[in-house]
């Protein structure tokens, strides 16, 4: 389900969920020995759209929390999520 940024029912939690889903999918695909890739163009597009509206503190908190949960170094996670930076 793609995020519809024009939907008046769209809530902050939907944006958080979209970003969180992308981070988890990236960790799954790059760090865990998963048989099936989770990252799709839709998940990536939703996350990038969500980032436009989420404060940096929120995206940082999501990344930090998930890095701890999945035992991934924060710098390594940043490199996975944003390899061009």
Q: Is residue 25 part of a domain?
A: yes
pLDDT at 34: 77
The pTM score is 0.89
Q: Is residue 60 part of a domain?
A: yes
Q: Is residue 30 part of a domain?
A: yes
Q: Is residue 27 part of a domain?
A: yes
Q: What residues in the chain have per-residue pLDDT under 70?
A: 1, 85
Q: Is residue 3 part of a domain?
A: no
Q: Is residue 4 part of a domain?
A: no
Which distant-in-sequence residues (6+ apart) come within 8 Å of 40 by Cβ?
A: 25
Task: Please count the structural domains in the chain.
Answer: 1
Cα 26 from Cα 12, distance rounded (Å): 22
């Amino acid at each position: 389900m793609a995020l519809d940024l024009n939907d008046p029912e769209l809530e902050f939690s939907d944006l958080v969920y979209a970003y969180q889903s992308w981070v988890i999918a990236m960790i799954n695909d790059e760090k865990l020995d998963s048989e099936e890739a989770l990252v799709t163009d839709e998940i990536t597009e939703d996350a990038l759209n969500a980032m436009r509206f989420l404060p940096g503190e929120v995206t940082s908190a999501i990344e930090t929390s998930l890095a701890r949960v999945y035992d991934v170094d924060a710098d390594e996670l940043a490199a996975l999520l944003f390899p061009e930076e």
